[in-house]
Amino acid sequence: MKRVTAGNTALLILALLSAWASWIPANDGTLENSMNNNLVKTLSTSEDPWELNDAAKALAKGSDPIGHAAVATALVSSHFLTNLDSEEEYAGDSRHLRLASLLKVLAENETQSAHEILLRASESSVFCDNPARIDLMIDALTFIRPAPPRAITFWDKYSQPEDGFVERTIRQISENGSDPAIALLEKKLTSRDFEEEDRAWWIRRHVLGLRDNVTMLNACMRMLQGSLEEALRPGLVEVLFDYQPKAWYRPHDVPAAPDRSNASREALELLYLIGQSAQAELELDPALDFRITDELKTIDETLKDER
Partner 1 sequence: MAQKIKLVLKSLYVKKDGRFWGKARWVLDVKVSGTQIGDAKKRFTVTDGKVVKFPSNAWSVEKDVDLGTSLTVSFHSKEVATWFPDDFGSVTHTLKWPFRQSVLRLQNKYYRVTFDVLLEACGELKRWHNPTEVFACRGTVGNPKCVTVSGASHRARIEVCEVRPTPPLSYLPNRIGGTVVGKVTFKADKGKALSSLDPINVIPNPAVIPLLKAADASDKNAARIEVGYFEPRSLKLDATDKRLVWKIDSLDAKGKAKFLGSKNGLGVYVYGTAEGAVSLTLTFLGVKVAVYRAMIMKIRSIPCRVNLFDGGAGFQTTSSAADVVKHLKTANLILRQAGVELKLDGSNKTRDKAQKLQTGIFRVPLSRPIRGRARNLSGNFPRAARMNYRPEVLSLVYVVSMADADTLGEAVMMPFNTSPKPAGGSFPQLTDSGTPSASWISPSGVFPHGAAAAQTLEMMQQALHRFHKKAWAVTVCNGNSTEMQYANTLAHEVCHAMGLAHRESTQDLLPELNENLMHATEGPDVAQDLDIIQAKAIHKSPLVK
Note the residues at the interface with partner 1 (CB under 8 A).
35, 39, 50, 53-55, 57-58, 61, 89-104, 130-132, 135, 139, 162-168, 171, 197-198, 201, 205, 246-253
Q: Provide the minimum distance between the beta carbon of 7 and partner 1 in the complex, in angstroms, as a whole number.
A: 24
Q: Provide the minimum distance between the beta carbon of 251 and partner 1 in the complex, in angstroms, as a whole number.
A: 6
Nearer Cβ to partner 1 (51/179): 51
Which amino acid, 36? Answer: N
Number of other CB atoms surrounding residue 116 within 10 Å: 19
Q: Provide the minimum distance between the beta carbon of 127 and partner 1 in the complex, in angstroms, as a whole number.
A: 14
Nearer Cβ to partner 1 (230/266): 230
Nearer Cβ to partner 1 (101/302): 101
Q: Provide the minimum distance between the beta carbon of 271 and partner 1 in the complex, in angstroms, as a whole number.
A: 25
Residues 6+ apart with CB under 8 A from 61: 105, 109
Nearer Cβ to partner 1 (197/259): 197
Nearer Cβ to partner 1 (60/268): 60
Q: Provide the minimum distance between the beta carbon of 254 and partner 1 in the complex, in angstroms, as a whole number.
A: 9
Nearer Cβ to partner 1 (157/277): 157
Q: Provide the minimum distance between the beta carbon of 71 and partner 1 in the complex, in angstroms, as a whole number.
A: 13
> Residue 210's Cα: distance from chain center in Å?
14
Q: Provide the minimum distance between the beta carbon of 65 and partner 1 in the complex, in angstroms, as a whole number.
A: 17
Nearer Cβ to partner 1 (165/267): 165
Q: Cα–Cα distance between 148 and 160 in angstroms, integer?
A: 20
Q: Provide the minimum distance between the beta carbon of 14 and partner 1 in the complex, in angstroms, as a whole number.
A: 21
Nearer Cβ to partner 1 (207/267): 207
Report whether 81 contacts 127 (CB < 8 A).
yes
Q: Cα–Cα distance between 205 and 182 in angstroms, integer?
A: 14
